[in-house]
Amino acid sequence: MPETTTPRLELQTDDGTTRVRLLGHWTAARFAERGLLGQLQRGLAGVQRDAAWDLRQADQLDHVGAQLLWDTWHHTEPSRLELLPPQRAVLDRVAEFTCEPARPRTRPGLRTRYLGLGEAVLDKLHALGEFVRLTGQLAINALRLARAPHEGPWRDLSGHLYHIGVTALPITALVGFLIGVVLAYLTAKQLRQFGADAFIVNILGVALIRELGPMLAAILVAGRSGSSITAQIGVMRVTDELDAMSVMGISHSFRLVLPRALALAITMPLISIWTTFSALAGGMLASDISLGITPTFFLRALPQAVQIGNLVLASAKSVGFGLLIALIGCHYGLRVQPNTQSLGAGTTSSVVTSITVVILVDALFAIAFQNVGF
């Protein structure tokens, strides 16, 4: 390479003032030469802080060269700097996108922690208020649908009935069957010790029909369909479809929340019954193998062991589970910010919150209706 293109410094001292003049090509291609970058860094480090800089004689200056100078100046432009307009544009861009060095993390004080706790509480209260508002809006939309059924989003409802209900049947049947098998085998070992083999029908019937069937189905639907609802609405936020609906005057709650809530309220009792029957089938098979209780005896003893009130209570719980899963999924979906990180965090929070609420509400039902079905 010609000597005239080699990046170099010329230092002149005039009346106690150091003038630094840049020459050659200050580009990444020239810095790649062996030892050249280290020499320039050592030369720049020896320049005084109050020196006057002249960049006009530099034939080329790219962003790598500008970054080298900007780091030498400690991210502050010298008071005496002469340069050409193109060089000014490159330096301004480097200054704009240069990140400040990370500061050492300090332990927050008591006041900072107190303010952080208050901020978190206010954020949760605000989110709770939005959820209550969404629930009220759903009730208003249900009345609107009852008054004008021809305006309802029936096509969306039918699609959600298929995707939420029909496509969930295989996985819920499989999991329910396996849970029934496991529960029957564990119960059989204990009952065999006391010679109470026939009571396995009572235990499996009440446990699966009243509690495990509805809760297991709700947990599976929350993880499967609840996350899907949040992701669908969140993607609409990322792609600005929600804003487009607002501009066109289309209600988010009527066209997005209502059909999903109705679909889950309709399908959850059916999925719950389907999961319960699958679990009973697994328990019946395991009982026949482990205790010799035939399926005929199991089916005849089941209506006497489990009253119809348990099935009614389980179906009523499932309707509530479906509405809560739909509302939570839509709530977190509408809160998603237009970026992928918020979408992932919202989907995760939706699933965790849905499962937690399902278990909490099931516990409340168990306490409130402990005398029903016995």
Q: Are residues 66 and 155 in the same domain?
A: no
* Model pLDDT, residue 179: 92
Q: How many domains does the chain have?
A: 2
Span 139-158, average pLDDT? 90
Q: pTM here?
A: 0.69
Distance CA 227, CA 344 (A): 10
Which DSSP category does 163 fall into?
A: I
Residue with the larger pLDDT of the pair 8 and 222: 222
Angle CA(262)–CA(267)–CA(271) in degrees, nearest 5?
160
Residues 40 and 183 reside in one and the same domain: no
Give 373 or 14, the one with higher predicted confidence.
14
Q: What is the pLDDT of residues 161-201, one digit of tens each?
A: 999 989 999 999 999 999 999 999 888 888 887 777 778 88
Q: In the block, which residue shows the tokens 């509408």?
A: 334
Same-domain pairing of 40 and 139:
no
Say yes or no: 44 and 176 in one domain: no
> Within a domain: residue 306?
yes
Question: Is residue 348 pLDDT above 60, yes or no?
Answer: yes
CB 1 within 8 A of CB 17: no
Distance, in Å, from the CA atom of 7 to the CA atom of 24, rounded to the nearest integer, reads 4
Q: Is residue 203 part of a domain?
A: yes
Structure tokens at 371: 């005398």
Domain membership flag for residue 105:
no
Q: In terms of domains, do 162 and 48 share one?
A: no
Percent of the chain predicted with pLDDT > 70: 95
In order of 120, 183, 192, 256, 291, the CA distances from 186 in angstroms are 44, 5, 10, 44, 12
pLDDT in tens, 217-275: 999 999 989 999 999 999 998 888 988 988 888 888 898 999 999 999 999 999 999 99
225 and 358 share a domain? Answer: yes
| 154 lies in the same domain as 284 | yes
Q: Is the pLDDT of residue 1 over 60?
A: no
The answer to whether the CB of 257 falls within 8 A of the CB of 142 is no
Same domain, 162 and 292: yes
**Taking residues 49-70, what's their average pLDDT?**
82
The predicted model gives 330-355 an average pLDDT of 90
Confidence of residue 99 (pLDDT cuts 50, 70, 90): low
Q: Are residues 36 and 152 in the same domain?
A: no
Whether residues 28 and 147 share a domain: the answer is no
Domain check: are 235 and 345 in the same one?
yes
The range of the structural domain enclosing residue 41 comes to 3-97
Question: Could you tell me if residue 308 is inside a domain?
Answer: yes
Q: Are residues 82 and 208 in the same domain?
A: no
Q: What is the pLDDT of residue 136?
A: 93
